[in-house]
């Protein structure tokens, strides 16, 4: 049923960027404009709402962006309205600016808002919903770790990029008879490392959900050498950790609501394998290249479908929902259900089982 009271909507993209964001913006904005709605673009995620940086979008602005990576609206992963960092002298102070965000939302005359992002963005949305804002969420993250949805757009593109890199590593690893450890993103979930590792035929896949035994990893590398396989490819998620060990933290970002930046596990594994086996080992950290580039066809289609479903929810007056893929169908869930949760690889994952059947080691 059409929502006749809906006249002006806002769109923002929060958190880290990824391929497919522009496809969602395009889908929501074109559907809304064609339906007679005014669309307001909010710059740099919640930061744009905090600083009141909004503009009216045009059909020209959202045309021709389907294949572009990144986001034309900009993004920011340091602008949690409930815990906004402000520099005072030589120190950071954190303030609650949610009332300011609500005031700017109403000042702009917004009737509703589409929020595109991951778990942090949805947690922020849930808090704003409690203050009366009408929001529809669209799930985005290369990590695929958002609760209540089987897939997030951006993940397939990141897997394609990571798989391509792992494929290229095979040839140099084979030429030099090395153990090549490729560190992938993913934070506290192993979806990216698991899927890219399986797609590229990695010999060892290390993910956060399965703590690994270094001796077993080293044994796998040595066993391959013993049967004439002169190289080993190890795909490791940044959140993986050894049995009884801790996460590897690269650095702390003091002005971020999620200050921990993981990193270093790849180098640790490579050094340990070389020490334990004598095999020449190298580390590659793919880093932000996994966020870049044009979206895959799958992500373009998924993002377009998600965006259209978000528009349908708006027009039906079904606010405070997040679009989700469940049992292969696009549906929606309450944003409160998603906030503060992480979707990890389950112990009985059929993908893990398939990899094991092929002889892939998870170091356990």
Rounded Cα distance between 186 and 182, Å, is: 13
Using H for helix, E for strand and C for coil, what is the string for the chain?
CCCCCCCEEEEEECCCCCCCHHHHHHHHHHHHHHCCCEEEEECCCHHHHHCCCEEECCCCCCCCCCCCCCCCCCCCCCCCCCCEEEEECCEEEEECCHHHHHHHHHHCCCCEEEEEECHHHHHHHHHHHCCCCCEEEEEECCCCCECCCCCCECHHHHHHHHHHHHHHHHHHHHHHCCEEEEEECCCCCCHHHHHHHHHHCCCEEECCCCCECHHHHHHHHHHHHHCCCCCEEEEEECCCCECCCCCCEEEECCCCCCCEEECCHHHHHHHHHHHHHCCCEEEEECHHHHHCCCCCHHHHHHHHHHHHHHHHHHHCCCCCEEEEEECCEEEEEEHHHHCCCECCCCCCCHHHHHHHHCCCECCC
Out of 143, 156, 203, 299, the active site residue is: 143
The verdict on whether 258 is a catalytic residue reads: no
Catalytic positions, written as ranges: 143
């Amino acid at each position: 049923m059409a929502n006749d009271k809906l006249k002006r909507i806002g769109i923002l993209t929060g958190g880290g960027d990824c391929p497919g964001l522009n496809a969602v913006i395009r889908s929501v904005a074109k559907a809304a404009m064609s339906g007679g709605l005014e669309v307001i673009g909010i710059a740099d995620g919640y930061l744009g709402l905090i600083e009141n940086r909004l503009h009216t979008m045009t059909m020209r602005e959202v045309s021709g962006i389907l294949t572009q990576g990144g986001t034309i609206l900009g993004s920011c992963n340091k602008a949690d309205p409930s815990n906004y960092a402000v520099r005072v002298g030589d120190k950071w102070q954190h303030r609650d600016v949610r009332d300011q965000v609500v005031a700017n939302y109403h000042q702009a005359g917004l009737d509703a808002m589409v929020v595109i992002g991951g778990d942090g963005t949805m947690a922020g949305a849930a808090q704003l919903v409690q203050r009366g804002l009408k929001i529809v969420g669209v799930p985005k993250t290369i990590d695929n770790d958002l609760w209540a949805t089987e897939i997030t757009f951006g993940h397939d593109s990141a897997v394609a990029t990571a798989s391509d890199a792992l494929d290229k590593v095979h040839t140099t690893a084979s030429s030099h008879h090395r153990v090549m450890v490729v560190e992938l993103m993913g934070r506290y979930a192993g979806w990216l490392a698991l899927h890219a590792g399986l797609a590229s035929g990695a010999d060892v896949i290390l993910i956060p959900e399965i703590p690994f035994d270094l001796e077993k990893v080293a044994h796998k590398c040595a066993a391959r050498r013993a049967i004439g396989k002169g190289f080993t490819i190890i795909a490791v998620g940044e959140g993986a950790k050894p049995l009884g060990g801790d996460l590897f933290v690269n650095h702390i970002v003091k002005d971020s609501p999620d200050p921990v930046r993981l990193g270093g596990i790849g180098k640790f594994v490579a050094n340990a394998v070389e020490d334990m086996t004598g095999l020449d080992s190298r580390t590659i950290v793919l880093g932000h290249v996994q966020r870049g580039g044009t979206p895959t066809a799958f992500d373009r289609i998924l993002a377009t479908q998600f965006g259209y479903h978000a528009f349908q929810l708006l027009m039906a007056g079904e606010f405070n929902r997040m679009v989700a893929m469940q049992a292969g169908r696009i549906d929606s869930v309450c944003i409160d259900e998603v906030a503060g949760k992480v979707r990890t690889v389950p112990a009985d994952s059929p993908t893990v089982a398939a990899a094991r059947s092929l002889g892939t080691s998870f170091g356990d």
